Chain A
Amino acid sequence: MRHLKLIWLLAAKDLRIEYRSRQAFLTTLFFAVLILIVFNFAFDPGSASTRDASPGILWVALLFPGMIQLNRSFQSEMEEGTLQGIVMSPLDRGVFFLGKLVANWVFLLAIDILILGVFVIFFNFSLEPGLLWVFLLMFLVGGGFTAVGTVFAAMVSNVRIREVLLPILIFPIIVPIILAAVNATREVLIHNDFSALSRWLQLLVAFDVIFLAAGFLVFDYVVGE
Chain B
Amino acid sequence: MWLLVPLYVLGVVALWAAFIHAPTERQMGEVQRIFYFHVGAAWTAFFAFFIVFVAGILYLWRRSPFWDEFGAASAEIGVVFTTIVLTTGPIWARPIWNTWWPWGDPRVTTTLVLWLIYVAYFILRSSLPEGEKRARFSAVFGIIGFIDVPIVFLSIRWWRTIHPIVITRTGNRLEPEMFQAMIIAVVAFTFLYFALLFLRTGMRLQHTVAEEMAHTLRERSE
A–B touching in complex (CB under 8 Å) = yes
Q: Which residues of B sit under 8 angstroms from A214, Cβ to Cβ?
A: 143-144, 147
Q: Is B123 touching A165 in the complex (CB atoms < 8 A)?
A: yes
Contact A206 B151 (CB under 8 A): yes
Pick the contact of B127 from A152, A161, A179, A225 — CB < 8 Å? Answer: A161
Chain B interface size, as a band, is: 20 to 34
Determine if B136 and A221 form an interchain contact, defined as CB atoms under 8 angstroms apart: yes
Chain A residue nearest to B110 in the complex (CB): A175
Q: Which residues of B contact A206 (CB under 8 A)?
A: 151
Q: Is A60's beta carbon under 8 Å from chain B?
A: no
Contact with A along B42-71 (1 / 0, CB 8 A): 000000000000000000100000000000
Which residues of A have CB within 8 Å of B158? 179, 199-200, 203
Counting CB contacts under 8 A, is A57 at the interface?
Answer: no
Which A residues between 154 and 176 are near B, CB-CB below 8 angstroms?
155-156, 159-161, 165, 168-169, 171-173, 175-176
In the complex the two chains form, is A160's CB within 8 Å of B127's CB?
A: yes
**CB under 8 Å from chain B, chain A span 190-224:** 199-200, 203, 206-207, 210-211, 214-215, 218, 221-222
Could you tell me the dominant secondary structure of chain B's interface residues?
helix
Q: For chain A, which range describes its interface: under 10, 10 to 19, 20 to 34, or 35 or more residues? A: 20 to 34
Query: Contact partner of A173 among B124, B127, B139, B144, CB < 8 A?
Result: B144
Instruction: Render B148-180 as a binary contact track against A, CB cut-off 8 A, 1 for contact.
Output: 100110111011000000000000000000000
B120 close to chain A: CB less than 8 A: yes
Complex CA distance for A206 and B159, rounded to whole angstroms: 17
**By the criterion CB–CB under 8 Å, are B143 and A218 in contact?**
yes
**A159 contacts across to B, CB distance below 8 A:** 127-128
Complex Cα distance A155/B120, Å? 13
Verify A207–B151 contact, CB threshold 8 A: yes
Whole-angstrom CA separation of A156 from B138 in the bound complex: 12
Distance in angstroms between the alpha carbons of A153 and B144 in the assembled complex: 14
B136 touches A222 (CB 8 A): yes
Residue of A nearest to B127 (CB): A159
| 14 extra A-B contacts, CB within 8 A, seeds A176-B155, A179-B156, A179-B159 | A151-B144, A155-B140, A159-B128, A168-B119, A172-B117, A172-B148, A173-B117, A175-B155, A180-B155, A183-B159, A203-B158, A206-B151, A214-B143, A214-B147
Interface of A toward B, CB cutoff 8 Å: 148, 151-152, 155-156, 159-161, 165, 168-169, 171-173, 175-176, 179-180, 183, 199-200, 203, 206-207, 210-211, 214-215, 218, 221-222, 225
Q: Give me the interface of B with A, judged by CB distance under 8 Å.
A: 60, 113, 116-117, 119-120, 123-124, 127-128, 132, 136-137, 139-141, 143-145, 147-148, 151-152, 154-156, 158-159
14 pairs of residues in contact across A and B, judged by CB atoms under 8 Å? A151-B144, A159-B128, A160-B127, A168-B123, A169-B141, A172-B120, A173-B144, A173-B148, A179-B155, A179-B156, A203-B155, A214-B144, A215-B144, A221-B139
